[in-house]
A and B are shown apart, each in its own frame.
Chain A
């Protein structure tokens, strides 16, 4: 047992109220969905306010609200700053989003681009990378739900995780991307208001001097500017974030769904709104030592400190904020991953002649199956959130250069992209196990860059971008 700030009953009531609210929103918004385009891409007509909100809310996730405090607790001030560099991924994706919408006006998934641009071999390697990442992120989100409920209320990990999974699967199933984006808008407002309130309460409750003095004496490395592992982590986190966003269908599906000329602005606004959130979320972890808090697992530090410092009211706010953050990412990931499976695996490999109507039905079963699989994999709490998440860094960072070169440069070849993704992933994983989680993405990205440039030099192509605009997905 650990000290908890909320009674299990209060936690359950919050889960129930917000769960019913999100599911009702999913049902209400889902009534407008008539076609596959409506369900997967919200009719391809999302305006700037909703677009910016969904970009920001989806990127505020268990990563931000729970892993940022964990990394601050483990890697100190550099961990906190390094985490906020995750915003660079959104900011750099802004110009790419405009280019994606222009190149693939009829595209559905990031897989569509890789298949058309690089061919089948690269497409299959990319799908494996995407699925490994998506499952890693889904499991980390499911686990974060259970950990959150357990840390703040003492409610059983499995119960909390199961309820949150059930709620998110239900409203994504009912409402598709339209419900995901609409709930993201509400969740963004809750997250921003909640984070501002928490920041105010933390500064009001803890003196900077007490905090600094304790860290200086008992945990000096957390304040050190020459903390080697933390220095190694800085750019690793940046490239992990860039890799996540550049390759993942979560962000590509939004680029397709946003109105023309909206994507670039939306991702810029989303990135700037996101930037301060991990700093605030991470900062509160530095208070744990001076409070004499016993932190059983580093990924519990955020909610534990918030609950202890801010009392029951603060704990309720933290609970709602993190629940909103989790839901806003879990729903997006469920929707985008089911799109990828429906479009690239089912329609691309299993049933090539499937109609849009048929795929619309299949995508619903896939959301359900994905939810069930994630729930099963979350049951054994295998590792900490950061370790799980950064394991996928080696995979996603290897896809950065194939995406960027593929979008802008005609000479990049399919064989070069395939080898870059393979070599980057393998050597990145070696670095993960030999050195630490904080270098996997960086090493993967460096190897991938060298391979794609060298191999393309020997196997140049002259790709015609016009081919992409003619693509209408795997069914064509």
Chain B
């Protein structure tokens, strides 16, 4: 990172604001890291979502999943070079993800899994059941009344 700032200074990028911006950005590990990770959503109501990663390195990558932001307990998945993975079947909770290899790690991506309430789900279920019964009854009665012309 120092080299980048040095080059920029050499190029006489003297604006203080610009330099501060560059310094601020370099404090974020994702910005110039060789591995970056992102998710297609921050909150999932269904327990599934997609994580995408980009890596410049040829080293094998591992996805770490944890319920704590310091990754004290992790579930690890060896990644291929597919560039994305679909995570499914998670229960409610705040999950943290990062991708690592032997020398570096990506930014941390948090995803909140918050399923719909069971009350709402059952509301839709019974609405569907009611509509289905109405449909069957209407076809059945219609056939009885108007079997042919």
Interface of A with B (CB < 8 Å)? Answer: 1-3, 73-76, 88, 92, 95-96, 99, 102-103, 215, 218-222, 226-229, 231-232, 234-236, 238-239, 242, 289, 292, 294-298, 301, 400, 404-405, 407-409, 435-436, 438-439, 442, 445-446, 449, 465-466, 469
| A-B contacts, CB under 8 A, total | 145
Q: Do A294 and B131 touch across chains, with their CB atoms under 8 A apart?
A: no
CA distance A469 to B45 in the complex (A): 50
Contacts of B118 in A (CB 8 A): 226, 228, 231
**CB of B4, distance to nearest CB on chain A (Å):** 32
Contacts of B24 in A (CB 8 A): none
Q: Do A231 and B121 touch across chains, with their CB atoms under 8 A apart?
A: yes
Q: Which chain B residues numbered 57 to 85 have a C-beta less than 8 Å away from chain A?
A: 75, 77-85
Which residue of B is nearest A1, CB measured?
A: B81
Question: How many residues of chain B are within 8 Å of chain A by beta carbon?
Answer: 46
With A220-B89, A235-B127 as known contacts, state yes or no: A242 contacts B135, CB within 8 Å: yes
CA distance A229 to B46 in the complex (A): 6
B135 interface neighbour in A92, A219, A292, A436, Cβ under 8 Å:
A92
A2 interface neighbour in B47, B82, B125, Cβ under 8 Å:
B82
Q: Which chain B residues numbered 20 to 65 have a C-beta less than 8 Å away from chain A?
A: 45-48, 50
Contacts of A215 in B (CB 8 A): 89
Q: Counting CB contacts under 8 A, is B5 at the interface?
A: no
Which residue of A is nearest B138, CB measured?
A: A404
Identify 5 new A-B residue pairs, CB closer than 8 A, beyond the known A298-B50, A404-B139.
Answer: A96-B139, A226-B118, A227-B115, A228-B116, A235-B125
Contacts of A220 in B (CB 8 A): 89, 91
Contacts of A295 in B (CB 8 A): 85-86
Contacts of A95 in B (CB 8 A): 139, 143
- A-B CB proximity, top 6 nearest: A235-B128, A219-B89, A408-B142, A228-B121, A222-B89, A228-B116
Contacts of A227 in B (CB 8 A): 47, 115
Q: Do A297 and B86 touch across chains, with their CB atoms under 8 A apart?
A: yes
Contacts of B124 in A (CB 8 A): 231-232, 235-236, 439, 442
With A95-B143, A221-B91, A469-B149 as known contacts, state yes or no: A229 contacts B45, CB within 8 Å: yes
Q: Do A296 and B85 touch across chains, with their CB atoms under 8 A apart?
A: yes
Contacts of A296 in B (CB 8 A): 82-86
CA distance A449 to B115 in the complex (A): 29
